Amino acid sequence: MKIKNLRFSYTSITIVIAVYFALIINVPIYSELGGILYRLDSVNPGFVATIPLFFIASFNIIFNAFSWPLITKPFFIILLLLSSAASYATFSYGVIFDSDMIVNVIETDSAEASSYISIYSLAWFLFMGGIPSLFLFIVKIEESDPLLFMTMKKSISVIASIVVILIIATLYYQDYASVGRNNSYLKKVIIPTELVYSIGKYVNNEYLSDPLPYKKIGEDAQKTDTHKTKKPTLFVFVLGETARAQNQQLNGYSRKTNQFTSQEGVISFKNVSSCGTATAVSVPCLFSILERENFNRERADKQDNLLDIMQRAGTEMLWVENDSGDKNVAKHIPQITVNRHESQTYCDGQTCFDEAVIQSFIEKTSNADSSQDLMTVLHLIGSHGPTYFKRYPENMRVFTPDCQRADIENCSKEEIVNTYDNTILYTDYVINKVIKELKDLSSKYNTALIYVSDHGESLGENGIYLHGLPYSIAPDFQTHVPMFFWADDNFLKDKKVDSFCLNKIAERNTFSHDNIFHSLLGIMDISTSAYQESKDIFSLCRQ
C-alpha cells in the first residue's frame, strides 16, 4: 500500500505519534535509565517493562490536546524536527534543553551552530525527524464523524491512557517514586516536554511579559586614585570559553598545558566555580551584581553591570569579541568584533584563532588616552566544542592523535582529550602573548591581567560531553573553572598588593564568579555603594 493511500483518524494518528515519541525519539532517557537501573542492587522486571507503556500513555494524553483539524500536521511536524535535534544532542552529548540552554541556543551565532553539524548529526536528524515528518505530511488524516463524536473518541483514548497509568501506578508506584526522587533531573531528559516548556518560557519572557524598567547601579561610582603622580592602570580581562580547571598544568594537571604562562609568575586560583554551565548565563552573571543563587538573565539585562559602573567612574573601556557575542553585557561600551568572514592571518572565513583579538587590543592601546585608566575585555573562543580542532593552529597541535571531526562521540577518549588539551595550550599561548604586550606598555601603564573561563566542559566522563547541564546536576568538570592573575611589579606596588598573600589564598581559598564584580571594582580603586569589600579577592591581600 502506498503511503499516500494510508488514512488515519485524529485519534489513531495521535497514538502513532505517541508511540514514536515514546519508543524512538526518547532513546536518550532509556540510555539514562539503563545506567541508573544497572547501578541498583535489584530491579523489578515488571517495572522496567511498563516504562515504555507509561510514556506512550502519557504522550497520548498530552498530544490529544493538539490533535485537531488544521493544526495536527504543522504542529507535530515542527515538534518532530525540533525533538529529533534535541534527541541527538541529548543522546550524543548529554545536553538537557532547559530554559537556560534554550537561551544559549538562540544566542548562538551561525558559525558556532555550524560546528555541531556532521554527517552523523545530519543522518540522525534525517532519519529520526525528517522522514517521519515527511510521512506525516503525506498521509491523510480525516474524520468521517461529526466533531462531537470525534471528541468523544479522543476522550475515550485519553481515559484509556489514564487507566493504563493508574494501573501502572498501583503496581509499581514505589519503583517509579524511588527512581524519580533519587534522579529528579530525569524529567528534564524527557522529550519533548522539557523542550516545549523551556521554549514557551523563553517566548513568554521575551515577547509576552511586560519588560522590566532599567535600573541604574553604582551611580555614585568614582575613582579614589586620580593618578596625579602615578601612571594609569591598563587592566586586561581575558574571558575564556569552555576551559575547565582540571586540564590546567597550573592546577596540577600532568600535561604541560600552561607551559607559556607558567614562566611568567602567573597566579592560579585553584578553586573557582562558575555562575552557570553555558555562556548565555555565565557571562552576564559574571559581570552582574547579581549572584548565582539569585541570578536572572532578564534582570541582569535591565540593569547596570560592572563595565557600566567602571565606565561611569572614568575608566576607558573596550570589548574585543571573538566568540558568540557579548550576551548584552557590553551594550554601553565600545566594541570591536573580529571579522571572521574574511580570510586573513588568523581567520578562514568561518572562524578565527584567538590571536586575532591581540591586534585589536594593540591598536586600541596605542591610540588610547594614556592619562586614563583603561580596561579591555578580550572574549576568546577558547575551547569551544565540539570542533575543538578548529580552535588551534597546526603549530599548537602538540597532543596527538587528535579528533579532527565535529561528532566527537565517534572519536576515542584519548583523541578527544588530546584535542581539548591543544585548545588549552593555545589559549595559554595567547594569554602569554597578551602579557608580553603588557610588558611592552609598562612605560605608559601599570599593567595587570585576569583570565577566567565562563564555564567548563565534559569530555565523555559518564557518557556526558560538552556543557550546559542544569547546575544542580552538572558535574564538576562543567562548573570548576580556571582563573589566573598576572601583574607587573609597578601595579602590585601601586595597588599595595602582597603577591605572597595572593598566592597563598589562590591555593587555599574557594572563590566563584560572584567575586569578580567586587574584585574588579576594588582593584581599580572605584568607590561605590555597590561594592562589597568582603567579596573582593584582592582586599584580602592589600596592605
Q: Specify the number of domains making up the chain.
A: 2
Q: Which residues contact 448 (CB under 8 A, 6 or more apart)?
A: 233, 234, 235, 236, 438, 485, 486, 487, 488, 491, 523
Amino acid at 519: S
Q: Is 163 exposed, middle or buried (0-12, 13-18, 19+ CB in 10 A)?
A: exposed
Which residue among 154, 187, 207 closes a domain? 207
Residue 519 has pLDDT above 70, yes or no: yes
Asked, for residue 224, whether it belongs to a domain, the answer is: no
User: How does residue 510 score in pLDDT terms, banded at 50, 70 and 90?
Assistant: very high
Phi, psi (5° rounding) for residue 356? -65, -25
Output the average pLDDT for the chain. Answer: 92
**Considering 207, 224, 250, which residue would you say is the last residue of a domain?**
207
State the pairing for strand pair 446-453/374-379: unpaired
Q: Are residues 535 and 442 in the same domain?
A: yes
How confident is the model at residue 463, as a pLDDT? 85
Instruction: Give a yes or no: residue 219 inside a domain.
Output: no
State the average pLDDT over residues 251-275. 97
Does a structural domain hold residue 41?
yes
Per-residue pLDDT at 103 = 86
pLDDT over 90 (residue 480): yes
Q: Are residues 111 and 172 in the same domain?
A: yes
Q: Name the most confidently modeled range: 82-86, 118-122, 349-353.
A: 82-86
- 511 phi and psi, to 5 degrees? -130, 180
Same domain, 300 and 169: no
Q: What number of CA atoms fall less than 13 Å from residue 69's CA on the CB side?
A: 8
What pLDDT, on a 0 to 100 scale, did the predictor assign at position 462? 87
377 contacts 307 by C-beta, under 8 angstroms:
yes
**pTM for this structure?**
0.86
In a domain, 480, yes or no: yes
List the grid coordinates of 384: 569551544
Is the predicted pLDDT of residue 311 greater than 60, yes or no?
Answer: yes
Query: Where is the domain boundary, 170, 187, 207?
Result: 207
Q: Are residues 52 and 182 in the same domain?
A: yes
Three-state secondary structure string covering 129-182 = HHHHHHHHHHCEECCCCCHHHHHHHHHHHHHHHHHHHHHHHHHHHHHHHHHHHH
CB of 332 closer than 8 Å to CB of 406 = no
Give the pLDDT of residue 209: 84
Does 68 lie in the same domain as 115? yes
Closest CA to 207 of 195, 199, 215: 199
204's CB contacts (< 8 A; 6+ apart) are none
Whole-number pLDDT of residue 439: 95
Q: Is the pLDDT of residue 368 over 80?
A: no
List pLDDT tens digits, range 183-230: 888 988 999 999 999 999 888 888 888 888 999 999 999 998 755 557
How do residues 393-409 score in pLDDT, each as one tens digit? 999 999 999 999 988 88
Burial code (b: 16+ CB inside 10 Å, e: under 16) for 81-114 equals: bbbbbbbbbbbbbbbbbbbbbbbbbebbeebbee
Q: What is the pLDDT of residue 226?
A: 55
Q: In terms of DSSP H, where are the helices of 348-487?
A: 356-367, 413-440, 476-479
Q: What is the pLDDT of residue 2?
A: 64
68 and 143 assigned to the same domain: yes
Nearest CA-CA partner of 235 in 534, 543, 519: 519
C-alpha closest to that of 274 among 80, 541, 514, 30: 514
Instruction: Report yes or no on 221 lying in a domain.
Output: no
Predicted pLDDT at 41: 79
| Residue 427 forms part of a structural domain | yes
Give me the CATH number covering residue 533.
3.40.720.10
Q: Same domain, yes or no, for 251 and 190?
A: no
The reply to whether 331 falls in a domain is yes
- Measured CA to CA in angstroms, residue 262 lies from 245, 417, 429, 485 at distances of 15, 21, 10, 11
**Residue 245: CB atoms within 10 Å:** 25
Mean pLDDT of 76-91: 95
C-alpha span between 91 and 335 (Å, rounded)? 38
Q: What pLDDT does 229 receive?
A: 55
Per-residue pLDDT band at 466 (split at 50, 70, 90): very high
Q: Is pLDDT of 522 > 90?
A: yes
Is 169 in the same domain as 250? no
174 C-beta neighbours (distance < 10 Å), count: 11
**pLDDT number for residue 4:** 65
Residue of 2 and 334 predicted with greater confidence: 334
Does residue 343 surpass a pLDDT of 70? no
Res 375: pLDDT: 95
Question: Distances in Å between the alpha carbon of 167 and those of 53, 58, 330, 506, 529?
Answer: 11, 13, 56, 57, 61
Domain presence at residue 220: no
Helices (H) and strands (E) in the chain, counts: 20, 14
Quote the pLDDT of residue 1: 52
Say whether both 258 and 203 belong to one domain: no
User: Does residue 421 share a domain with residue 295?
Assistant: yes
From 104, 20, 30, select the one nearest 63 (Cα to Cα).
20
- Do 479 and 264 touch, CB atoms closer than 8 A? no
How would DSSP label each residue in 74-86? HHHHHHHHHHHHH
Are 119 and 175 part of one and the same domain? yes
Mean local confidence (pLDDT), 22-33: 94
- Domain interval for residue 439: 236-541
Dump pLDDT digits (tens) for 109-135.
777 777 778 898 999 999 999 999 999
Least Cα distance to 523 among 503, 537, 512, 508 occurs for 537
Q: Is the pLDDT of residue 535 over 80?
A: yes
Same domain, 165 and 83: yes
Grid cell of 261 as nine digits: 604562562
